[in-house]
Structure 1
Amino acid sequence: MCNQKTLSLYGLVKELGIEKTQLFLEQAFSCSRNKDVESFLLNKAIRFETALAAATHLIINEQGDILAYFTLSFKEIEVEVSKSQLKKLTAGLSNDSHLRVLLIGQIGKNEKVIDNPAKLPDILNHIYAQLYKAQRVLGGRVVILECENTPKLLELYKQNKFQILNTIGSENGLKTLFFIPDF
């Protein structure tokens, strides 16, 4: 994480304008291993940002290269869990199975940077720094992400403190994982 910083896409759009920001992203980022992740940044992130529907952040190095990006938002989910698990998720404040959670909507690593040093724990540290700020301003106890249901990916997130969460109405066969930060 040394010599990396997080740059708000919103700030970039305000500074450069939509067209120049779009051109910069198209020239600077690629993720052929996950076309959905690439497509979101190149085709949707600016629109989500200007509509204030989600906040995208770029992790950049000293040279201004995009190493990775992530998108944060809120989401309401319905969970199917035991009473004790629900108590843990809500800190005992609610018995409702509907939860408003902080969502890590996208995480993408840039293939255009040769020997890209960004690793998931580093990216998560950048994410946690932004989530900490959001929690102090807005609240929000539970952090979730939705990922492909592949053993390798699930294990990678489990190694980074995420646990599987049973939700009702999960989309596209994705698995929902959660953690409760103790910043």
Structure 2
Amino acid sequence: MKEGNELLELLSSFSCEKDEDIEYFLHHRAIEFEKLSKARTYLVFDQDQLENKEKNLTIYGYISIALKILSVPQEMSNRMRKELDGFSAKIHGEQISDFPCYLIGQLSKNSNVKSEGISGKQLIDFASDIIAASVEAVGGRYMMIECRNKEKLIQFYQDNYFSEVARIPDEDQPMVQMIRKIG
């Protein structure tokens, strides 16, 4: 893979017209998160470009995966808590309120690649494959996303088998937490 300035130049070629934060993360934070082991970022390229060892690679999309604790609302039923835990709704008589998850922290297509690019579903499938390898090594039951509270975005994730768990109120940017069972 490329190093130093070449890598920064490659990353800066990525554009996300729909969400500046996603673009900003890849341009300015992904390498730092990688070095700190806060997240792993995976770039998606055209296979022909890679096989032909082309110098000017095009990033078709990217995903970033991390670990996160899902803290569920107090009013969540014991039945749902048991489903999330896979074993019990309580530990030492207390309701379980925190569940470890794999977080798909970033997921985006490159706005500069118009036609034969990659689909959002393909990016989710790619993230699922990476998470499945982690599950094989260390276990885990759920993957999650936190997306903006936009109907089209929520529908996209619901179409890809994510279910809403909670809404995160925020004056500037309310978010929706959604999960999907692994496997």
Give TM-score scaled by structure 2 length.
Answer: 0.84
Post-superposition shift, 1:116?
A: 4.3
The match for 2:16 among 31, 39, 44 is 31
Moved more, 87-96 or 153-162: 87-96
Partner of 1:6: none
Partner of 1:72: 65
Residue identity matched to 2:6: K
Q: Is the 8 A contact 2:108 2:120 kept in 1?
A: no
Counterparts of 1:72 and 1:22, CA distance in 2:
20
Segments of structure 2 that go 5 or more residues without pairing to the other structure are 50-56, 91-95
Counterparts of 2:9 and 2:3, CA distance in 1:
10
Counterparts of 2:79 and 2:28, CA distance in 1:
41
Runs of 4+ in 1 over 2 A off after TM superposition: 16-20, 169-172
Q: Is the 8 A contact 2:81 2:88 kept in 1?
A: no
Q: RMSD of the TM alignment (CA)?
A: 1.6
Distance 1:165 1:101, change over 3 A: same
Deviations 1:79-115 (A, max 9, x none): 0221111111110245211111110000111011131
Residue identity matched to 2:70: I
| Matched-pair identity in % | 25
* Structure 2 residue matching 1:137: 3-state secondary structure: helix
Partner of 1:83: 78
Query: Matched residue pairs, number?
Result: 166
Post-superposition shift, 1:23?
A: 1.5
Q: Bigger relative contact order, structure 1 or 2, given CA contacts below 8 A and separation 6+?
A: 1
